[in-house]
Amino acid sequence: MSVLRGRRIVVTRARDQAEGLVRSLEALGADVIAAPAIRIEPLPDDAALRSALADLSRWRWIVFTSQNAVHVVCDSMRGWGLQPTALATGNVVAVGPKTASALGREGVKVALVAEETTAEGVLAALTDAGGLAGARVLIPCAQGAREVLPQGLRAAGAAVEVIPVYVTTQETGNPKGLPDGRGKQLAADILQGLIDAVTFTSPSTVYGFVDMVGAEVARSGQFAAAVIGPVTAQAARDAGMRDLVMAARSSAEGLAEALARRFA
């Protein structure tokens, strides 16, 4: 299937997370340009996380809202001499199937997977599960993560501990294939109409992309902005992007499918 043959599509996802999206797009014939706009960095001080995981029986739910959180928490546990399988206590929640799969690869059985891959979806799943009044909930997450989930859980009576375990920062390196400085060649290609679409998998990729190519280029309307979900879509709109293509499924495959439909 080559529905994207001849289409030049930019992937802004972090370098070590982009493989699945690149593979999905290339399978459809796209010419993929890797231009990571962000990178994921574990926070150096893990004392709060170590203390929180010292007694897993304290928690009614342990909620993972991203694959990044899974990787950082499990790597930290191994650094302490613990195996991530210790998390397999029957009370682990995943934001969606990709996060659940990441936990599964670590030997952690997931008790609850949100149908909607957003903080709102996790909140709805936990609310439907019931028993939140007085329940203790642990959320290892990104620094500066949205407050929708912890605020909603607290409103339902839960005692919530949010522990930032990683930070998303703008990529400062020179992306592969962009020899003329950070984003200069990409910006020129966009303005010349040589880029068909740019993919965004989080608001932070939108912000990093705008920083990379400049605000005027980002809102030029010279490309389709393919977004993974409504929160990312709003960030793209706020940046002045109007030609939006939103994935029906919040996944790399969903993004590729959305672009296939757009350019079919």
DSSP 219: T
CA gap 124, 183 in Å, rounded? 39
Q: Looking at the predicted structure, is the pLDDT value of residue 30 above 70? A: yes
The CATH 3.40.50.10090 domain(s) of the chain lie at 8-37+173-263, 41-169
pLDDT digits over 118-145, tens only?
889 899 999 998 889 999 999 999 998 8
Residue 156 in tokens: 């339902």
CA gap 155, 144 in Å, rounded? 20
DSSP 87: G
Q: Is 1 exposed, middle or buried (0-12, 13-18, 19+ CB in 10 A)?
A: exposed
Q: What is the pTM of this model?
A: 0.79
What pLDDT shows up at residue 177? 43
What pLDDT shows up at residue 115? 82
Q: Looking at the predicted structure, is the pLDDT value of residue 1 above 70? A: no
What pLDDT shows up at residue 219? 94
CA gap 192, 109 in Å, rounded? 49
Distance of CA 114 to the CA centre of its chain: 15
Q: Please, what is the angle between helix 67-79 and helix 97-105, to 10°? A: 20
Q: Looking at the predicted structure, is the pLDDT value of residue 262 above 90? A: yes
Per the prediction, the chain carries an average pLDDT of 90
What pLDDT shows up at residue 180? 44
What pLDDT shows up at residue 178? 47
What pLDDT shows up at residue 173? 55
What pLDDT shows up at residue 176? 46
Q: Looking at the predicted structure, is the pLDDT value of residue 263 above 80? A: yes
For the domain spanning 41-169, the CATH number is: 3.40.50.10090
CA gap 89, 61 in Å, rounded? 10
pLDDT category at 181 given cuts 50, 70, 90 is: low
What pLDDT shows up at residue 245? 95
Q: Looking at the predicted structure, is the pLDDT value of residue 7 above 90? A: yes
Assign residue 247 a region (left: φ > 0; alpha: ψ between -120 and 50; beta: otherwise). beta
What pLDDT shows up at residue 168? 87
- Average pLDDT rounded to a whole number, residues 222-244: 94
CA gap 247, 243 in Å, rounded? 13
pLDDT digits over 75-101, tens only?
999 999 999 999 987 799 998 888 999
pLDDT digits over 193-212, tens only?
999 999 999 899 999 999 89
Of all residues in the chain, the percent with pLDDT exceeding 70 is 95
What pLDDT shows up at residue 92? 95
Q: How many CB atoms lie within 10 A of CB 227?
A: 29
- Architecture label for domain 8-37+173-263: 3-Layer(aba) Sandwich (3.40)
pLDDT digits over 156-179, tens only?
999 999 999 999 887 765 444 444
CA gap 70, 63 in Å, rounded? 10
What pLDDT shows up at residue 182? 60
CA gap 30, 22 in Å, rounded? 9
pLDDT digits over 45-64, tens only?
899 999 999 999 999 999 99
DSSP 140: E
